[in-house]
Structure 1
Amino acid sequence: MSPASTVLITGCSSGFGLETARFFLDKGWRVVAAMRTPREDVLPPSERLRVLPLDVTDIASIRRCVDAAGPIDALVNNAGVGMAGPLEAIDLNHARTVYETNTLGTIAMTQAVLPQFRQRRAGVVVNVTSTVTLAPLPLLSVYTGSKAAVNAFTESLALELAPFDVRVRLVLPGRSPSTSFGNNARRLMSEDVPEAYAEFTQGVFAAIRDTSTPVTYAEDVAEAVWQAVTDPAAPMRIPAGADAVAAATAAR
């Protein structure tokens, strides 16, 4: 793909999506940065940048975004929401939000761009999931399930689209102290945690916040997405971050 190519990235207001948008802009690409609440100020001004509103849980919003974006060469499904807590305390409405965003949102965005990719016999879809699907952690059962579903979806879809020369890849970040995942996860966690889990929960969250061991930085994810988009020989699963590489190696 040439520097004049266009990438549509979801969830660009912060974290991995924001850094990935910056990375592609620096490489000379045209970037469509989609976010629930558009903010032009989070990215450097550029004639190659467009910021569009997008709610991946709303089909009408998806259609408006894809129509406004026009022809694209790559889709990066990065938008997601975290959830943490013992399953006994999980509000099922919150769990539905996680699956609607992480799983069905990814599926719906992909479905919306496939006709143009198929007709041109070109295009790349990159889905950002998580290494918790390789090395499960406690208190993340709902979140892990939503991301593991995307892994399976992606690997099956890759076989389906190969005859049309459309590539589909996965990027699996590790634990990142530089994103809003922790805050979002705790926001969706029920305050009514059973007493039996209280001490255990505190210990797990302390471990999640610990930066004394290898972690993943937003730059790691941006570089992995770049590889997935631009390298036809890139593997199906690309770990992003030192801890992610270690988890992937252990899983193999």
Structure 2
Amino acid sequence: MKTVLITGCSSGYGLETARRFHAEGWNVIATMRTPSDAASAPAERFRVLALDVTRPDGIADALDACGPIDVLVNNAGIGLFGAFEATPMATVRDVFETNTFGTMAVTQAVLPRFRARRSGTIVNVTSSAVLAPMPLVAAYTASKTAIEGFTASLAHELAHFGVTVKLVQPGYAPTTRFTSNGQTRMQGLIPEAYAPFAQAVFASLAQIGAVTVAADVADAVWRAANDATGQLRFPAGPDAVALAQASR
């Protein structure tokens, strides 16, 4: 029986992915900053651990507590809408701390274990924003684009150790907590000069037809984790699939 560790499981993609792996018979270690945020989780083969990807000591403690794992899913992330001109650099750094450096830190902590066993899979969750950058998410897009390059390079670096690295690129999902979790962080980031433009952008997003749901991402992560081919990128959701095809 295989074991997967997934970061950012309090809701959305992470929680749905945890449920998918559990339904497939895997042992699941669902991590999140605040375990009390976890929705009702099955007790058998489903363990909830506290893990803040921005705290290196916490990463080490969580890995020591969970024992051997077969797959790491780096899903933890925070969103940010706003005009870059009005975004404090401290806020930009916060986004990178979780989305970029947090992913790198958890990956680096897991690698000695995978390398010693000469097996293991890492799945990094990015965004369709890397396929088609849109306005008002410049800092967020930059943080996810960095992980795209990181993952592509790491896939070459680790292949001869038997370690596989994959990317999942979710599309636009208005029903997730992407914005609701970051309302405080986003206050004041749409100055008056940008307001008409921002309203037009938000209106266009509201008109998108086929959007991504959490189950699309869970399915893509599942396929990526079990893929035996050389495929690196797995777009998730109809809009992300269309963007990936267009970019090719």
Q: Same fold (TM over 0.5)?
A: yes
Is 2:79–2:182's contact at 8 Å kept on the other side of the alignment?
A: yes
Partner in structure 1 of residue 227 of structure 2: 231
**Matched position secondary structure for 1:170:** strand
Question: Shift in Å at residue 201 of structure 1?
Answer: 1.2
- Return the alpha-carbon distance in structure 2 between the equivalents of residues 39 and 206 of structure 1: 35
Is 1:173–1:241's contact at 8 Å kept on the other side of the alignment?
A: yes
Question: Shift in Å at residue 188 of structure 1?
Answer: 2.0
Partner in structure 2 of residue 220 of structure 1: 216
Which of 181, 186, 194 aligns to 1:184? It is: 181
Partner in structure 2 of residue 127 of structure 1: 124
Q: For residue 142 of structure 1, what is the amino acid of its counterpart?
A: A
**Matched position secondary structure for 1:188:** helix
**Matched position secondary structure for 1:181:** coil
**Matched position secondary structure for 1:172:** strand
Shifted more, 189-198 versus 226-235: the winner is: 189-198
Question: Shift in Å at residue 234 of structure 1?
Answer: 5.8
**Do the aligned partners of residues 40 and 98 (structure 1) sit closer, same or farther apart at CA in structure 2, a change above 3 Å counting?**
closer
Question: Shift in Å at residue 39 of structure 1?
Answer: 3.1
- Structure 2: state its 5+ residue gaps: none
Q: For residue 96 of structure 1, what is the amino acid of its counterpart?
A: R
Partner in structure 2 of residue 65 of structure 1: 62
Matched, 1:75 2:75: no
Partner in structure 2 of residue 39 of structure 1: 36
- Return the alpha-carbon distance in structure 1 between the equivalents of residues 163 and 147 of structure 2: 17
Matched, 1:10 2:4: no
**Do the aligned partners of residues 67 and 174 (structure 1) sit closer, same or farther apart at CA in structure 2, a change above 3 Å counting?**
same
Partner in structure 2 of residue 244 of structure 1: 240
**Matched position secondary structure for 2:190:** coil
Partner in structure 2 of residue 113 of structure 1: 110
Is 1:84–1:186's contact at 8 Å kept on the other side of the alignment?
A: no
- Return the alpha-carbon distance in structure 2 between the equivalents of residues 41 and 84 of structure 1: 25
**Matched position secondary structure for 2:210:** coil
Question: Shift in Å at residue 205 of structure 1?
Answer: 2.4
- Structure 1: state its 5+ residue gaps: none
Shifted more, 166-175 versus 186-195: the winner is: 186-195
- Return the alpha-carbon distance in structure 2 between the equivalents of residues 55 and 41 of structure 1: 14
> Please, what TM-score do these two structures have when normalized by structure 2?
0.96
- Return the alpha-carbon distance in structure 1 between the equivalents of residues 24 and 37 of structure 2: 19
**Matched position secondary structure for 1:56:** coil
**Matched position secondary structure for 1:94:** helix
> Please, what TM-score do these two structures have when normalized by structure 1?
0.95
Question: Shift in Å at residue 202 of structure 1?
Answer: 2.0
- Return the alpha-carbon distance in structure 1 between the equivalents of residues 94 and 235 of structure 2: 26
Measured on the aligned residues, the alpha-carbon RMSD in Å equals 1.4
Percent identity over the alignment is 56
